[in-house]
């Protein structure tokens, strides 16, 4: 399935669903406290991306819209961080998360481009 032409809202919603499913799979394993905390952080930040993009649809102004996308961007960056921590601490394998990393990086690029374009429009 190609998801090249889907909206950022749909893309981040799909990503959040993948995060929830992955978190559920991870929690079937017997983790120590650190593994539980790291996976929970992954869940929180990974689902927050889409929540902020969804909120942006009803922003009260362009400034509010940019703010929501900026928060989503920060959450996407944080999600990538937690994925890397899980890989480096050997909670998960990189191969298991490679597609999720690539999608997360696409989301970051889309959000960054959208924010920059909106800021340019605001300053003209």
Q: Which of 54, 46, 42, 47 is nearest to 8 (CA)?
A: 54
Q: Which CATH architecture has domain 8-123?
A: Up-down Bundle (1.20)
The model's pTM: 0.92
Torsion of CA 17, 71, 73, 33, to 10 degrees: -60
Per run of 10 residues, the mean pLDDT along the chain (length 124 residues) is: 77 98 89 88 98 96 96 98 96 93 98 96 82
**Rg value, the chain, Cα:** 15
d(CA 119, CA 124): 9
Collapsing DSSP states into helix, strand and coil, what is residue 12?
A: helix
Q: What is the pLDDT of residue 3?
A: 61
In the chain, domain spans = 8-123
């Amino acid at each position: 399935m190609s998801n090249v032409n889907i909206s950022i809202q749909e893309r981040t919603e799909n990503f959040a669903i993948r995060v929830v499913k992955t978190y559920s799979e991870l929690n079937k394993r017997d983790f120590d406290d650190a593994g539980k905390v790291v996976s929970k952080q992954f869940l929180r930040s990974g689902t927050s991306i889409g929540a902020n993009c969804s909120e942006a649809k009803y922003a009260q102004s362009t400034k509010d819209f940019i703010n929501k996308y900026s928060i989503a961007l920060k959450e996407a960056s944080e999600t990538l961080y937690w994925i890397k921590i899980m890989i480096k601490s050997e909670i998960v394998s990189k191969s298991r998360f490679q597609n999720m990393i690539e999608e997360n990086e696409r989301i970051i690029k889309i959000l960054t481009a959208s924010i920059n374009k909106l800021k340019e429009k605001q300053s003209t």
